[in-house]
Amino acid sequence: MSRLIAPHGGKGLVCTLLEGADAEAEKTRAEGLKKIEISPRENGDLIMMGIGAFSPLDGFMTKADWKGVCEDFLTSDGTFWPVPVTLSASKEDADAINEGDEVALFDSALQEVRATMKVTEKYEMTEADKKWECEKIFLGEGVPDPVEFWKIAMDDHPGVEMVMNQKAFNLAGPVKVLSEGEFPTKYAGIYMRPAESRKIFEERGWTEIAAMQLRNPMHRSHEYLCKIAVEVCDGVFIHSLVGNLKPGDIPADTRVKCIDSLVKNYFVEDKVLQGGYPMDMRYAGPREGLLHSCFRQNYGVSRMIIGRDHAGVGDFYGMFEAQTIYDKIPYPEEPGKALLCKPLKIDWTFYCYKCDGMASLRTCPHGKEDRVLLSGTMLRKMLSEGGDIPDHFGRDEVLVILREYYQGLTEKVEIKLHGAATGEPT
């Protein structure tokens, strides 16, 4: 019997991916079904459901699920879930579909059917519904006033823009996923399914595992957080997003090279596992931190590293709001339906010249003039502008990789700094 944490939801790993002859037969059948075009985010969510990373979800959410998740962090059956997982369709497509129909979910960029779905419900999403969802999911302590939020959200928050640009209806129902796309080949050895990470953890004898979420190159603060986790857990799972990011973020293949260099030169290798997952970022800050815990639990992770401004964007969230939200969420009494993966809360970290090493606000008594404040956004901005990187901001091996990447860019993207990147810890 496995000693790892149980998958979220109490049903084991719920995988909707078809393989081999079953997948080929379903692809043939899908040729006769009505095609619904899907977005990159929906495609990533499909793969997450396919491989069991979104267990216990087996399809896109009903209106009751959507409302319960937005309002109470609970699906209609009482399972904890922090962020809606929905599929949008145009009014024209929705009008042509009856509940009970089967449809093919089509990726127009790849000209490929990615899944089939039995439509159990269709429901309208008005502009007011979308705004309500955005306020529930994206409104944070950084900009708590809805009036002020909407003055900047459509220009500065990619998650809000994503929701508001969704089509007029949502379709709900179970899916049969037909492909993992390019991820298994493009990120061979990094991309993995929950069953695969669980197998590795068990082979290594790990039971208490912490996960490090990464969408930026790994700088000294990330390295320090992982080493704290290694001290208190059996190992750390450095788990990078290999799905879509916002303009200006560094692509996954470059980030993977950086992590490889760090693991090789600065970690005990059998205490670290590097992995990748295919979901797109939502930039939902505290809510996304909870989502990261949900699906990391499916990967076998028991502790989620939550540091400063986890999954944030701009100044929309409080610096440690993604930590405090764990103290406010519901914990269903029914076995398996509560979130079991707990946060590993770590304070603001930095390099301190007087301490002569990495430290945090809990361990360093010195002033801000002695500290090198570390931020992925600040690092990207300095590199993109060809500026000098302060000592102790990043490892030399990593900076070589990142400079090569930026020198190879033909188009530069302006990178905005915000409070999380430039603010001083108090």
Catalytic residues: 215-216
Sign of CA dihedral 104, 108, 113, 114: negative
b/e map 198-224, b = 16+ CB within 10 Å: beebeeeebbbbbbbbbbbbbbbbbbb
Q: Give the phi and the psi of residue 334 in degrees, each rounded to 5.
A: -65, 130
Q: How far apart are CA 125 and CA 114, in angstroms?
A: 24
CB 172 within 8 A of CB 58: no
Tokens of 30: 């899908």
Note the helical H segments in 246-395.
Answer: 252-266, 286-298, 321-324, 376-384
Q: What are 315's two structure tokens?
A: 């100044």
Structure tokens at 101: 């129909």
Map tokens 């990094």 to a residue: 190
